[in-house]
Amino acid sequence: MASNVSILSRLISSYLLIIVVVLLSGLYTIWNLSEFNRLIRVVTSHDTRMIELSQECQDILISANASERKYFVSGDETYLRQFRDLEAALTGKLNELAALVDTEKKRELLESVRGACGRYAALFEDMAAQTGSRRVPADEVARYRIEQDLIVADTGQTLRELTRISSDERDDKLREIEANSVRSADAILISLVVAVILMIAISVLNTQSINVPISRLREKTKAVARGDFGDPLDIGSPPEIRELASAFNAMCDRLRELDQMKIDYISHLSHELRTPLTAIREASSMLEEGLFNEMPEKQRELQTLIREDCERLIRSVTRLLDFSMMESGIMHLTVQEAPLRPLVERNLQRFSAVAQRKRIDMRVDIPPDLPPVRMDAEKIEVVVENLLSNALKFTDDGGLITISARPRDDGKLVEVAVTDTGRGIPESGLKEVFEKFKRIDDGRGAVRGTGLGLAIVKHIIKAHGGRVWADSELGRGSTFTFSLPA
């Protein structure tokens, strides 16, 4: 299916798509990493700290219990102070724990620890006060001991429970982190694989969509080089190559046309050269065989014919040579200011015999005050000669040819026109007559010529900085006009 998307847009949109996929995968990875970081932060700053604090509380409780016992056994005030310091440290740790607890269950456990510790301290202070004021009976001491040991055991149990819950939570989070990292590794891998597949697919598609039409164009070029024009190349997309293909088709059409023109032209030119050569050969054979030995009049006629045909041949060959030199850019102009009239009259003189033979009236319409023109007189003579010879060639007997000249553009230019009452040129052929080898077929049969006369005229006039054009009406005549700087 032909698509109108240019090569540039295809490349840009493909690479944009790849960039979007890579960006999305990058964003997903960044999101995963930040989630990963958050969980690690929670584990290290929260759960691990809770476990540490619970264990520290257990240790402090055991140490406080030991200091308390030592105090009651030895009555040493150092142990009393030690106990109070440990109790203050325990309260501090419990407060820290309270700031960290995040579930109802943990809060409950912590509250029960705080309550027990409070009770423990109160019992201790009470017993310490009693020990200081009186001798405490042994059964009371034993009851006190049992109660305190129970509190210590219960609190230790509760703290262990807190530690267990926190470490379970920490393990859950670590498992979550692990699962997350596996998930993100999978996602990154999948997005990378998708990006690579996409990149390969897009590159292959893009390359194909450019390569296929280019190889068709290459094959077609090879075929045309072999001279096989075939059907026009039909390439739908991409637009750049479609335009290239249509330019290529136009070039092929022109080449085909030129090819055909070349074939026609060679056959025409061979005929053009062969006709006078055959006439010369026939005439000289007759003279050689002495057919007209007794008829000097006939001999002269044959000699004139030989001379005229030789001149015609020389003219044709000179034209070919002049044209090939002009085409290769070799044209030296010797520009001088000169009047036009003498040049035109010289040419009329040259063609007067032919004009008389065809009973064609040739008139000159050049005002006496026409300013001189800047020209290479020799070259402009060739121009007038070509235009006049065409006019004579394409005008039937009894016609009229006029050469007129007028100043134009406030005297900056001079326009010279050769008008005939000949067969005329069809509208479609007017522009083409100045093309090399172009001979307009107006359906009235072939007329001699090399098809180069007007192309030479155009070269010379362009080299002078002027312009040449044709107007014509089929069946009524033509006017060829050229302008020169005055």
Pick between residue 309 and residue 420 the one whose CB is nearest to ligand ADP: 420
Q: How far is the CB of 341 from ligand ADP (least distance, A)?
A: 22
Residues that bind ligand ADP (CB under 6 A): 386, 390-391, 394, 420, 422-423, 425, 433, 438-440, 449-455, 478
What's the DSSP call for residue 428?
A: G
Choice between 57 and 452, CB closer to ligand ADP: 452
Separation CA 275–CA 211 (nearest Å): 54
DSSP H stretches of helix in 295-340: 296-327
Q: How far is the CB of 290 from ligand ADP (least distance, A)?
A: 37
Shortest approach of ligand ADP to residue 419 CB, angstroms? 9
DSSP 80-126: HHHHHHHHHHHHHHHHHHHHH--SHHHHHHHHHHHHHHHHHHHHHHH
Nearest distance, CB of residue 214 and ligand ADP, angstroms? 41
CA dist 451 and 125 (Å) reads: 136
CB of 486 to ligand ADP, least distance (A): 25
Any idea which residue has 């000249």 for tokens? 405
Nearer to ligand ADP, 213 or 477 (CB): 477
CB nearer to ligand ADP: pick between 11 and 273? 273
Nearer to ligand ADP, 64 or 456 (CB): 456
Q: How many helices (H) and strands (E) does the chain have?
A: 10, 7
What is the smallest separation between the CB atom of 460 and ligand ADP, expressed in angstroms? 13
Between 368 and 443, name the residue whose CB sits nearer to ligand ADP. Answer: 443
Q: How far apart are CA 413 and CA 119, in angstroms?
A: 128
Alpha-carbon span 93 to 60, nearest angstrom: 9
Nearer to ligand ADP, 18 or 320 (CB): 320
CB-based burial, 401-434: b 16+ in 10 Å, e otherwise = bbbbbebeeeeebbbbbbbbbbbbbbeebbeebb
Q: How far is the CB of 435 from ligand ADP (least distance, A)?
A: 8
Q: Is 133 or 428 the residue whose CB approaches ligand ADP more closely? A: 428
User: Among residues 379 and 423, whose Cβ is nearest to ligand ADP?
Assistant: 423
CB of 476 to ligand ADP, least distance (A): 11
- Reduced 3-state DSSP string for 364-417: EECCCCCCCEEECHHHHHHHHHHHHHHHHHCCCCCCEEEEEEEEECCCCEEEEE
Q: Please give the Cα distance from 425 to 419 (Å, whole number).
A: 13
How long, in residues, is the chain? 486
Closest distance of CB 308 from ligand ADP, Å: 17
46: DSSP letter: I
CA-based end-to-end distance of the chain: 61
**Residue number of the CB atom closest to ligand ADP:** 449
Q: How far is the CB of 468 from ligand ADP (least distance, A)?
A: 12
Q: Output 429 or 466, the one with its CB closest to ligand ADP.
A: 429
**Helix 239-289 crosses helix 138-225 at what angle (to 10 degrees)?**
10
In the complex with ligand ADP, the residue whose CB is nearer, 189 or 314, is 314
185 membership: H or E segment, kind and range: helix 138-225
Task: Give phi and psi for 338, each to the nearest 5.
Answer: -150, 150
What is the Cα Rg of the chain in Å? 58
> Minimum Å distance from CB 253 to ligand ADP?
22
